[in-house]
């Protein structure tokens, strides 16, 4: 009698088809991905129709992507995978600032700005806000030449790249700390906003009873030679969506008071491992 091939035999055969002599890291990742995908299919007893729905969903996700819209990042964000990758890759020391998601709306090449200037490039029609703080190392020493790339939504709840009427680089700017590590940035108080819901990710959220709100925040990416890049946000303590962020990015240490036109956001960087 011929031996029946089990699902375990099938997995082993597929895993063995990848040659680790060619590219060991890629093969490690693919073998693991295949193992977990098979476990998922078996655990959920996925039907052929459900598998096809998944294929169609991923196809639509790819078709929604263009130069400024990245639906796959949005999918990763809303499934919490982006935050998991940041948690594992940016693991901060006890004193360093907590990281959070990068998000799909970062645009490289924002203008370098003088300390204290405004990232609102046209009609600052929101509630004026001055962000200030000091960038330090883990011992408390102020860090000169830390570069802060800052971005946020406009008061209408849209990033510049989502709004055909927006000036380029509206609510984006790059600042560099002086010898005292201090920074000061003029902006408008960030507002709560909806992540894009006009694509397959929005359909997934609606079909599962989830909200698409992100609590009001300003993004910071802080770089400094010799230190780990910090990707984080400052969240507004008054937002009603802090406990239901669509992308699971809120950390208590990042919630700050933005009332009265000022917000203090001190930042601590970890040195690089090398």
Instruction: Rule CB under 6 A: say whether 131 interacts with ligand BEZ.
Output: no
Cα gap 73→180, rounded to integer Å: 37
> Which CB atom, from 99 or from 103, has the smaller least distance to ligand BEZ?
103
Instruction: Rule CB under 6 A: say whether 105 interacts with ligand BEZ.
Output: yes
Instruction: Rule CB under 6 A: say whether 201 interacts with ligand BEZ.
Output: no
Instruction: Rule CB under 6 A: say whether 99 interacts with ligand BEZ.
Output: no
Instruction: Rule CB under 6 A: say whether 190 interacts with ligand BEZ.
Output: no
Given the rule CB under 6 A, which of 1-9, 55-63, 98-106, 160-168 is the region that contacts ligand BEZ? Answer: 98-106
For residue 14, which phi and psi values (nearest 5 degrees)?
-70, -45
Residue 74 partner contact from ligand BEZ, Fe ion, none using kind-dependent CB cut-offs of 5 to 8 Å: ligand BEZ
Report the interhelical angle of 71-78 vs 81-89 (nearest 10°): 80
**Residues 71, 86, 97, 104: which binds ligand BEZ (CB under 6 A)?**
104
Q: Compute the chain's Rg from CA coordinates.
A: 22
Cα gap 96→82, rounded to integer Å: 20
Pattern 62-101, binding to Fe ion, x per CB under 5 A? ----------------------------------------
**Residues 61, 70, 75, 77: which binds ligand BEZ (CB under 6 A)?**
77
Token digits of residue 170: 């509206």
Instruction: Rule CB under 6 A: say whether 75 interacts with ligand BEZ.
Output: no
Task: State the residues that interact with ligand BEZ by CB under 6 A.
Answer: 74, 77, 101, 103-105, 195, 214, 247
Give the interface with Fe ion as residue ranges (CB under 5 A). 103
């Amino acid at each position: 009698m011929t031996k029946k091939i089990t699902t375990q035999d099938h997995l082993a055969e597929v895993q063995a088809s990848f040659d680790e002599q060619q590219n060991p890291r890629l093969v490690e990742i693919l073998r693991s991905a295949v193992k977990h995908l098979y476990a998922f299919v078996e655990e959920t007893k996925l039907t052929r129709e459900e598998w096809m729905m998944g294929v169609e969903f991923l196809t639509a996700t790819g078709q929604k992507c263009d130069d400024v819209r990245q639906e796959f990042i949005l999918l990763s964000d809303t499934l919490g995978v982006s935050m998991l990758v940041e948690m594992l890759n940016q693991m901060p020391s006890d004193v360093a600032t907590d990281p959070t998601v990068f998000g799909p709306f970062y645009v490289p090449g924002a203008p370098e700005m003088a300390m204290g200037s405004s990232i609102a490039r046209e009609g600052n029609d929101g509630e004026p806000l001055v962000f200030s703080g000091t960038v330090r190392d883990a011992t408390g020493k102020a860090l000169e030449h830390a570069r802060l790339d800052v971005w946020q939504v406009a008061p209408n709840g849209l990033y510049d790249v989502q709004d055909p009427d927006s000036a380029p680089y509206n609510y984006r700017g790059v600042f560099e700390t002086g010898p005292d590590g201090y920074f000061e940035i003029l902006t408008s108080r960030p507002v709560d906003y909806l992540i894009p819901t006009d694509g397959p990710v929005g359909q997934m959220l609606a079909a599962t009873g989830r909200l698409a709100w992100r609590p009001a925040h300003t993004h910071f990416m802080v770089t400094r030679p010799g230190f780990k890049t910090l990707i984080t946000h400052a969240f507004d303590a008054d937002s009603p969506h802090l406990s239901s962020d669509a992308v699971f990015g809120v950390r208590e240490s990042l919630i700050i008071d933005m009332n009265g036109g000022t917000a203090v956001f001190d930042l601590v960087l970890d040195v690089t491992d090398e």
